[in-house]
Chains A and B, each alone.
Chain A
Amino acid sequence: MDWLSSSPVTWYDALVVFLWGVVLMLVVLGFVTYAIYFERKVIGWMQYRQGPNRVGPLGLLQSVADILKLLIKEDTIPRKADRLLFVFAPVLAFIPSFAVLAVIPYTQKLYFADLNVGLLYYVALSGISTLAIVLGGWASNNKYALLGGMRSAAQMISYEVPLVISVTGVVMMSGTLNLRGIVDAQSGGWFWDWNFLPQIIGFAVFVVAAISELNRTPFDLPEAESELVAGYHVEYSGFRFAFFMLTEYVYVYAIAGLATTLFLGGWHAPAPFLDFIPGIIWFALKFAFIVFFLFWLRATLPRIRIDQLMGLGWKLLLPLSLVNIFLTALFYELFQR
């Protein structure tokens, strides 16, 4: 989309950009629908069950039916809720989750926005969703929702820090914040040129912090369906609840895309002789593996306690990510100059 910066924007250009946005939206909605289906299937298989298999062939329409059910539900707003904020919170949660997808490059050619500060843009926008969760919890005027919102704010803020610091090592290695640049810096031909091996500490911290950012098991304390009532979205139903769920799964998409580009070499093949397979396939494979890994974790691990969560974030992940920065800097100072 280089023509955008070179010539004045016409209505036609705006229309094209808008249509590409719609295409991405449809892709993401398709992903969310089948991520939910796949998650339920995988967890079912791991628990010696079949998973959904009634609606449509192999249960493929199960999530479609679920979403349809959510959309035709009665839309309730508690009488004493802060109406404006209550309505606004799901929207505010969803917009940044979709906006961050703009910077994720799929292949050398296929990307939406080529920002020089792509990584920074991602981190900055994804922080806004925390605000939306607190807002939703506050506006519901419900003690459980407020507690859930506070919990998730505490969790997301304390894990945002190690998440950002853990990717600093990657930025130092590639010398750019541009996500395409970061992927290009990993183009050695072999999989050990990808960042996840040289940055193994950073990668480990990133994975843990990312799962926590996504509020997924074992860090799903904000929702904790078996302990709290439902966390910050107790009072939400129908369409608005669907938006919170959508946000969650769009972030799964975003984090899987981000992990692929930052640590797993984006569209690069793991070995030079596999180069004939197009980059988009490699991207999709790595992406799918990360998504599967998240579901796999969910099927395996129990939820941790709130004090363990905070302890892990501040006492282990933060020092580790700082150590990672210093080790990277030391390595570059000693061997690369």
Chain B
Amino acid sequence: MKGMLKGMGVTLKALTAPKVTTSYPDTPYMMPERYRGIQHFIPELCIVCNQCARICPTECITLTGKPNPDPEKKGKVIDTFDLNFEICILCDLCTEVCPTEAIVMTGNFELAAYSRDELYKDREWLTDNNTRVREDNNNIGAPQKGGAK
């Protein structure tokens, strides 16, 4: 009997307590600071080192480079950069391995589409995906340039 009354009290208090649900589709849901959302790509920073494509566990990144149009500079610039969100698991490895932070995570997560083809995101789309870009891209404390002394 006492337990029943106690339970009734709990539910009565919950009646006016703040609700834990959010009106998500109506108002955008703000993911936490370190959330691993859809990548943002910055072509100017990319040095076409191919590390992201190599580290990717699902091999969803395909990229090609071309020689630098400025003949005085060495190296390559990015030509195409495709990310297949059918298989991307948003594991953060590509952004972790990137030496120039040309690919970084964002807080965006909405990927639903009517066709699988729409899930192949190209360089332009990833570049335009520039909202809520993650600030701290070394949250695991990996050694920076020069490596461990």
Interface residues of A (CB under 8 A from B): 42, 45-50, 53, 296-297, 299-301
Interface residues of B (CB under 8 A from A): 4, 7-8, 10-12, 14-21, 23
CA distance A47 to B15 in the complex (A): 8
> Hey, which chain B residues are within 8 Å of A299, CB to CB?
11
B46 to chain A, nearest CB (A): 44
> Hey, which chain A residues are within 8 Å of B23, CB to CB?
50, 53
Would you mind naming 19 contact pairs between A and B with Cβ atoms under 8 Å apart? A42-B15, A46-B11, A46-B12, A46-B15, A47-B14, A48-B14, A48-B19, A48-B21, A49-B20, A49-B21, A50-B19, A50-B21, A50-B23, A53-B23, A296-B11, A296-B12, A297-B8, A300-B7, A301-B4
By beta carbon, the residue of chain A nearest B17 is A48
Contact A300 B17 (CB under 8 A): no
A40 to chain B, nearest CB (A): 13
CA distance A297 to B8 in the complex (A): 7
Contact B19 A49 (CB under 8 A): yes
Contact A46 B4 (CB under 8 A): no
> Hey, which chain A residues are within 8 Å of B17, CB to CB?
48
Contact B11 A48 (CB under 8 A): no
CA distance A296 to B19 in the complex (A): 17
CA distance A104 to B15 in the complex (A): 31
B1 to chain A, nearest CB (A): 11
B117 to chain A, nearest CB (A): 31
Contact A301 B7 (CB under 8 A): yes
A119 to chain B, nearest CB (A): 29
Residue from the list A45, A50, A297, A301 in contact with B15, Cβ < 8 A: A45
CA distance A42 to B14 in the complex (A): 10
CA distance A50 to B8 in the complex (A): 19
By beta carbon, the residue of chain B nearest A53 is B23
A298 to chain B, nearest CB (A): 10
B120 to chain A, nearest CB (A): 34
By beta carbon, the residue of chain B nearest A298 is B11
> Hey, which chain B residues are within 8 Å of A300, CB to CB?
4, 7-8, 10-11
CA distance A49 to B7 in the complex (A): 18
CA distance A290 to B14 in the complex (A): 19
Residue from B15, B17, B18 having most chain A Cβ neighbours under 10 A: B15
Contact B20 A48 (CB under 8 A): yes
CA distance A47 to B10 in the complex (A): 10
> Hey, which chain B residues are within 8 Å of A48, CB to CB?
14, 17-21
Residue from B8, B11, B23 having most chain A Cβ neighbours under 10 A: B11
Contact B14 A45 (CB under 8 A): yes
B88 to chain A, nearest CB (A): 32
> Hey, which chain B residues are within 8 Å of A49, CB to CB?
19-21
> Hey, which chain B residues are within 8 Å of A42, CB to CB?
15
Residue from B4, B10, B12, B14 having most chain A Cβ neighbours under 10 A: B14
CA distance A46 to B15 in the complex (A): 4
A155 to chain B, nearest CB (A): 20
CA distance A42 to B19 in the complex (A): 12
Known contacts A46-B11, A48-B18, A49-B19, then 8 further A-B pairs from the complex at CB < 8 Å, ordered by chain A residue: A45-B16, A46-B12, A46-B14, A46-B15, A48-B19, A49-B20, A296-B8, A299-B11
> Hey, which chain A residues are within 8 Å of B7, CB to CB?
300-301
By beta carbon, the residue of chain B nearest A45 is B15
CA distance A300 to B15 in the complex (A): 11
> Hey, which chain B residues are within 8 Å of A47, CB to CB?
14
CA distance A45 to B14 in the complex (A): 7
By beta carbon, the residue of chain B nearest A297 is B8
> Hey, which chain B residues are within 8 Å of A50, CB to CB?
19, 21, 23
By beta carbon, the residue of chain A nearest B20 is A48
CA distance A301 to B10 in the complex (A): 11
A310 to chain B, nearest CB (A): 20
CA distance A46 to B12 in the complex (A): 7
